[in-house]
Structure 1
């Protein structure tokens, strides 16, 4: 394989795992994120493929435009976008949320997702041959909230709507769009779960986590689908986490 791929938030966690899985399959992967040092660390872990670190801020339209302009100039096309960059937030009861709390989460998890998907869609539509694949990183929070998670939960519900709209509008241009919903991958973002997190019944409980590389393998599976097939939604989660039956 030598797909031209872009992974946002590629400096750590899920983004790093996905990038390394694609690189391991022989792809050319643009590694995007705010911290060049972290992106270079991801690139150094690659054993195959071609890793190209590019510092970019997904919340800044000019930065996103520059990122996609470089990909277009280098290769003239993009085959796969893993639209991954996102942030979590500490648990805050809805009544105590501020506008800044809300906007901090939405600017990355929704606005950034839109900016990257929009730029990828236009490039995939205008390239020859047309087509490509956009994979949005949702969350199991797109289906069921955690206590005190209104901004994060709302952003991930919105990502689901975005995924469906892109999938529908992309049909005319051979652009497939799917969503991966992840539950408790072992990353720095979920380390707090090893000490206990709030449950719906008010308890604090330690939650199981799964190897983040299980996510990377799933992204590779989605990216490798033939052009006439799409993984519309897929959930990958720690087997024993309290999601099914949460409440």
Structure 2
């Protein structure tokens, strides 16, 4: 049976790969993303996936997007609150308050707006899966990335609470915690961290890998594999979990 899947931050990176993988399984998929250019490119490459330019920080725009999904589909079976930003890099005393607020808004406020809708429609349906994208930074912390780490820790607290609230209604809630994921977004973050720390970007790249037991980065497909498993019957009793997809982080000095 075809599932109804909604993914925020879905026009690039791991969100786009999750969308493509769900669509390949025959599911109806809708994505939103704040980057209108990325949305246009994604839509052209994936004509079977519904894609809209929506900023997850904008309550009215998010409510309207989700209302359109509900009107057309009647609800959702899988909702991935995936939209995020790496935020500024640097010691906390060097960071501007507005940059802090922008990072928290995208990562945490956007998840709240997404989950608020998902909780309502899934509670009414008596079933569903919500997956929130946290990070290993939300389990370990991250030097020079305090806004990002704070937001990603907040995601895990939100997930744990929603799992408690929605479990009696038959709704599962989990968080994924990717490590260093190959792709353009991480390349940009390497440059930002290098500028903040004074290290060579290639040194930071090696530190990410060497800080894991498997000595590796991960791919968008590694993350999508886990999310598709969470949406499968084999994960029907998995809820309230923060699942790291990172090769097992031992230290986070990058």
CA distance in 2, matches of 1:105, 1:93: 15
Q: What is the TM-score of this pair, normalised by structure 2?
A: 0.85
Give 1:235's aligned residue: 244
Task: Tell me how far 1:214 sits from its aligned partner.
Answer: 1.4
Task: Tell me how far 1:157 sits from its aligned partner.
Answer: 0.6
Structure number with higher helix proportion: 2
Q: For 2:49, what is the secondary structure of its paired residue? A: strand
CA distance in 1, matches of 2:146, 2:189: 18
Write out per-residue CA displacement over residues 15-40 of structure 1, whole angstroms, 9 at most, x where no aligned residue: 11111111111110001112344224
Task: Tell me how far 1:6 sits from its aligned partner.
Answer: 0.3
CA distance in 2, matches of 1:54, 1:163: 25
Task: Tell me how far 1:63 sits from its aligned partner.
Answer: 1.0
Give 1:18's aligned residue: 18
Give 1:182's aligned residue: 178
Task: Tell me how far 1:89 sits from its aligned partner.
Answer: 2.1
Give 1:4's aligned residue: 4
Task: Tell me how far 1:233 sits from its aligned partner.
Answer: 2.2
Give 2:213's aligned residue: none
Unpaired runs of 5+ in structure 2?
A: 210-216
Of 95-104 and 34-43, more deviation after overlay is shown by 34-43
Alignment: residue pair count: 238
Unpaired runs of 5+ in structure 1?
A: none
Give 1:246's aligned residue: 252
Q: What is the TM-score of this pair, normalised by structure 1?
A: 0.87
The 5 A counterparts of 1:1-247 are 1-46=1-46, 50-127=48-125, 130-192=126-188, 197=193, 204=200, 205=203, 206-207=205-206, 208=209, 209-225=217-233, 228-230=236-238, 232-237=241-246, 239=247, 243-247=249-253
Superposition RMSD in Å: 2.3
Task: Tell me how far 1:220 sits from its aligned partner.
Answer: 1.1
Contact preservation (8 Å) 1:36, 1:53:
no
Contact preservation (8 Å) 2:88, 2:99:
no
Contact preservation (8 Å) 2:89, 2:193:
no
Write out per-residue CA displacement over residues 39-98 of structure 1, whole angstroms, 9 at most, x where no aligned residue: 243344449xx4111222211111111111111111112100011000002321011122
CA distance in 2, matches of 1:37, 1:109: 20
Write out per-residue CA displacement over residues 90-110 of structure 1, whole angstroms, 9 at most, x where no aligned residue: 321011122112101011111
Indicate how the Cα distance of structure 1 residues 24 and 246 shifts in structure 2: closer, same or farther if over 3 A, else same: same
Write out per-residue CA displacement over residues 178-200 of structure 1, whole angstroms, 9 at most, x where no aligned residue: 000000111211114777956xx
Task: Tell me how far 1:246 sits from its aligned partner.
Answer: 3.5
